[in-house]
Structure formats: structure tokens, C-alpha cells
């Protein structure tokens, strides 16, 4: 028997919203209902390897989502995307780490699960649109040569903007998507939750990678990756220790390197500048660390990125734009040049710890144009 839901004629638009048990998606569901939509909640279960462990909050999140749905007055169901997640997101995450890069699984999860597997399932449920609690905006161009095209914009609340994580979404996905929180501030979202007496009104925002949660990161990776200890060297080639496996370090990392204040590298007054991970030589299994936040090895004025994805379906024709090479970074002015399978960026000012595997995302004002995965930074 098919579970496709037939919509009665002249019925209000049906929106299927991803409800995670958090305050953002909960308030989003209420806002949509207030705007006159028929709202159905969908709770996504994307991870089940150890969902009974102390670090996995899936069970409590489901309880919260059901409780909120009851208060708001929407139906909710759970759907299991764990196998799709493992194939499309987690496998790529492990491949990147094994290659010595630092991936951002949230970017891939949005493109492959929340706006693909979830969208397909919602359409099957008879949805006209889907919605999530992301802080971003969607706008349709209504005139000119690009009329009908959909743009991805930054959220009004700049401190919460999540367009960086959504830059791989395409026209088909965005044209079916609503972001109810795009026009309001997080403080307002909390106020609405309190006024509605939602059971999760004071629940803290989730942090970290969705499937790792609050668990110790190195311990988690240990279970899935093969790794080989190797030399840890300074910029002059001096061996100062041993790393536990290149996968466990990211460029710019300061904590957890495993070396103390070495006497030979102290300042005249006895103090010692912090050490940072600066380079990973995968071929020789060598980790390079440098002293001082502004060491030349940590600064670069250019990068090259592949695996391009453009919101409009084609690369931007404008050369002078701005970009982010990490979430929460202020936009940086840059010149971009696109080739057939990659693009390069040259920044007005040197950027700190540009990290292979992370996303370089391009903007023109508030409009997110898309981006790619960083392959390497230029060495200046």
C-alpha cells in the first residue's frame, strides 16, 4: 500500500518541516502554521551506530520534537536516513580524513540528506514545499534575464547566518524550500518559544558535528580510521615530537598538539608563544608545527578549490567578490577565476590557516553564490 498522501483540491499549501527537537525548527513549525500552511513535522534519524551511548541525544531529541509538535498542533513522524547518511556523507567524511584533509560534513549533509533524501520523502508525502530551521533566506528574481531564478541569501541575524553550510543547494532544491527564521533574530526565536511555553524553550543549541555530538573527537575517529604515528617537526626541520596520526590534526590547531613549552623555544623573558599546526606532509607522514599565531606558514593570500557547486547553476561572471574560508569568518574581498573543474581566489589580505577539505564560499553582498572544497592554499 502506498503512503503517498493525496491532497484535497483547493487546500492550503502543505509544508513538511524537518523537526530536530531543537528550538529553531520548533519555532519555525509554529511560524509556518501561523502563516496559514498545512504543516507536517518530520524527524530525521541519520545515525544509529551507537545511538544508545551517553553522547547520542537522538532519543531525547525525538521526545522533544514530539512534545513540541503536540503544543504547536502539527502531526509528526520519524524517518530513518541512516543508510543514506552513511553512504553519502559519512563515507566521504572518512575518505577526506584518511587523506589528511579536514572535511565539513554539515555542508554535505545539507546537500545530500536534508535537501535531497528529505526533500524526496516530503514530496512523497504530498508536500508543496519543505522547510528547516536554518538561518538563511531564499528570494526569487522577478524581472530581467534571470527572472524565475532563486537566490540564497544570508540571514538577517548575521551572527547566526548559516548560508555557508547551504552553499551547495541548487535551483531545484531552493525553489522548494522555506526558511522561516531568515528574517528574524535568534533572541526573538527564544522569546517566541518562551511565550508558547514550548518544552524545549531553554534547550541549548546543538554543537559539533551531528553524528559525533559531544563525544571526544579523537576517540571517535580512532574506531574508523587506520593511522600511523610519525615525526612532528618545526619549520626548520627539527624533530620535536611524534604525532599520533595526521588525520587527528587540522591546520591552525593549537590545543592537543602534545608538546609543552620547550626550553629551546622560549622568549628572553621566559614566556613561550603558542604552537600551531601549520602543514601536513601526507606523503612523508610528517606534521609541521610553528610558533606564533601570525607565522608566515599560517598565512596565505590565495587558494584553489574543486568540487564546485553554484546556486545559479553556473559560475559567477563577476570577478571581484567576497568569500569565507571558514564558518563565522567575516567576508573577505577577493578576485576569483573559474576554470572547467576548479576555481582560484586571490585575497586582498592574507588569510589565516586556509584548510584543505573545508569550503570556500563566495558572496556578492548578501547573496551566496556557491563555492567549492579547498584543495590547497597558495604559498606566499
Q: What is the mean pLDDT of residues 27-39?
A: 97
Asked if 247 and 353 sit in the same domain, the reply is: no
Tell me which residue range forms the domain holding 288.
228-293
For the chain, the average pLDDT equals 90
Half-sphere exposure at residue 202, Cβ-oriented, CA atoms within 13 angstroms: 1
Nearest alpha-carbon partner for 76 in 114, 51, 45: 45
User: Is the pLDDT reported for residue 273 higher than 90?
Assistant: no
Asked if 116 and 43 sit in the same domain, the reply is: yes
Looking at the structure of the chain, the number of domains it has is: 3
Asked if 303 and 289 sit in the same domain, the reply is: no
User: Is the pLDDT reported for residue 110 higher than 70?
Assistant: yes
Lowest mean pLDDT among 110-124, 246-260, 326-340: 246-260
Separation of alpha carbons 300 and 353, rounded Å: 8
Residue tagged active-site, from 109, 334, 368, 376? 109
Lowest mean pLDDT among 2-6, 338-342, 375-379: 2-6
The CATH code of the domain that includes 281 is: 2.30.30.280
Does residue 8 form part of some domain? no
Q: What is the pLDDT of residues 42-69, one digit of tens each?
A: 999 888 776 555 555 778 889 999 999 9
Packing angle, helices 186-195 and 23-34, rounded to 10: 70
Is 0.85 topped by the overall pTM?
A: yes
Give the model's pLDDT for residue 8: 46
Q: What is the pLDDT of residues 21-31, one digit of tens each?
A: 999 999 999 99
Residues sharing a CB contact under 8 Å with residue 229, sequence separation 6 or more, in sequence order = 242, 243, 244, 245
Separation of alpha carbons 128 and 177, rounded Å: 9
Separation of alpha carbons 166 and 170, rounded Å: 9
Give the model's pLDDT for residue 2: 41
Asked if 84 and 64 sit in the same domain, the reply is: yes
Asked if 69 and 183 sit in the same domain, the reply is: yes
Q: Which residue has the higher pLDDT, 266 or 62?
A: 62
Is 368 among the catalytic positions?
no
Separation of alpha carbons 44 and 18, rounded Å: 7
Asked if 344 and 285 sit in the same domain, the reply is: no
DSSP letters for 112-131: IIIIIIHHHHHHHTT-SEEE
User: Is the pLDDT reported for residue 112 higher than 60?
Assistant: yes
Give the model's pLDDT for residue 96: 93
Q: Is the dihedral of CA 54, 59, 62, 63 positive or negative?
A: negative
Query: Is residue 259 very low, low, confident or very high in pLDDT (cuts 50, 70, 90)?
Result: confident
Give the model's pLDDT for residue 201: 83
Give the model's pLDDT for residue 216: 73
Separation of alpha carbons 26 and 180, rounded Å: 11
Asked if 66 and 175 sit in the same domain, the reply is: yes
Of the three residues 275, 293, 311, the one that is the final residue of a domain is 293
Nearest alpha-carbon partner for 181 in 223, 137, 213: 137
Is 56 among the catalytic positions?
no
Residue tagged active-site, from 210, 334, 368, 376? 210
User: Is the pLDDT reported for residue 107 higher than 80?
Assistant: yes
Give the model's pLDDT for residue 311: 98
Does residue 7 form part of some domain? no
Amino acid at each position: 500500500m502506498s503512503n503517498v498522501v493525496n491532497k484535497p483540491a483547493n487546500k492550503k499549501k502543505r509544508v513538511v518541516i524537518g523537526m530536530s527537537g531543537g528550538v529553531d525548527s520548533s519555532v519555525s513549525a509554529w511560524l509556518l502554521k501561523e502563516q496559514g500552511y498545512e504543516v507536517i513535522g518530520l524527524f530525521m534519524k541519520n545515525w544509529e551506530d551507537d545511538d544508545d551511548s551517553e553522547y547520542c541525544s537522538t532519543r531525547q531529541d525525538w521526545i522533544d520534537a514530539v512534545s513540541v509538535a503536540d503544543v504547536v498542533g502539527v502531526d509528526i513522524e520519524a524517518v530513518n536516513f541512516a543508510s543514506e547518511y552513511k553512504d553519502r556523507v559519512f563515507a566521504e567524511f572518512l575518505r577526506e580524513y584518511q587523506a589528511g584533509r579536514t572535511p565539513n560534513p554539515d555542508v554535505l549533509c545539507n546537500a545530500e540528506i536534508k535537501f535531497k533524501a528529505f526533500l524526496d520523502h516530503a514530496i512523497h508525502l504530498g508536500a508543496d514545499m519543505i522547510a528547516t530551521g536554518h538561518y538563511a533566506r531564499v528570494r526569487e528574481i522577478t524581472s530581467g534575464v534571470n527572472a524565475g531564478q532563486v537566490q540564497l541569501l544570508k540571514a538577517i541575524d548575521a551572527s547566526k547566518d548559516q548560508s555557508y553550510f547551504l552553499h551547495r543547494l541548487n535551483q531545484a532544491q531552493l525553489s522548494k524550500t522555506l526558511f522561516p527564521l531568515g528574517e528574524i533574530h535568534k533572541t526573538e526565536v527564544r522569546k517566541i518559544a518562551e511565550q508558547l511555553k514550548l518544552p524545549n524553550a531553554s534547550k541549548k543549541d546543538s554543537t559539533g558535528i551531528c553524528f559525533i555530538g559531544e563525544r571526544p573527537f579523537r576517540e571517535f575517529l580512532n574506531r574508523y580510521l587506520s593511522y600511523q604515528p610519525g615525526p612532528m617537526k618545526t619549520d626548520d626541520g627539527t624533530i620535536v615530537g611524534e604525532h599520533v596520526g595526521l588525520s587527528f590534526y587540522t591546520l591552525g590547531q593549537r590545543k592537543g598538539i602534545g608538546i609543552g613549552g620547550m626550553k629551546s623555544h622560549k622568549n628572553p623573558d621566559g614566556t613561550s608563544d603558542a604552537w600551531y599546526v601549520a602543514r601536513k606532509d601526507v606523503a612523508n607522514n610528517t606534521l609541521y608545527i610553528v610558533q606564533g599565531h601570525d607565522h608566515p606558514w599560517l598565512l596565505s593570500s590565495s587558494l584553489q578549490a574543486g568540487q564546485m557547486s553554484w546556486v545559479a547553476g553556473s559560475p559567477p561572471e563577476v570577478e571581484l567578490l567576497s568569500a569565507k574560508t571558514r564558518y563565522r569568518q567575516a567576508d573577505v574581498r577577493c578576485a576569483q577565476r573559474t576554470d572547467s573543474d576548479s576555481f582560484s581566489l586571490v585575497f586582498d589580505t592574507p588569510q589565516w590557516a586556509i584548510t584543505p577539505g573545508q569550503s570556500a564560499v563566495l558572496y556578492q553582498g548578501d547573496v551566496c553564490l556557491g563555492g567549492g572544497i579547498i584543495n590547497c592554499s597558495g604559498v606566499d
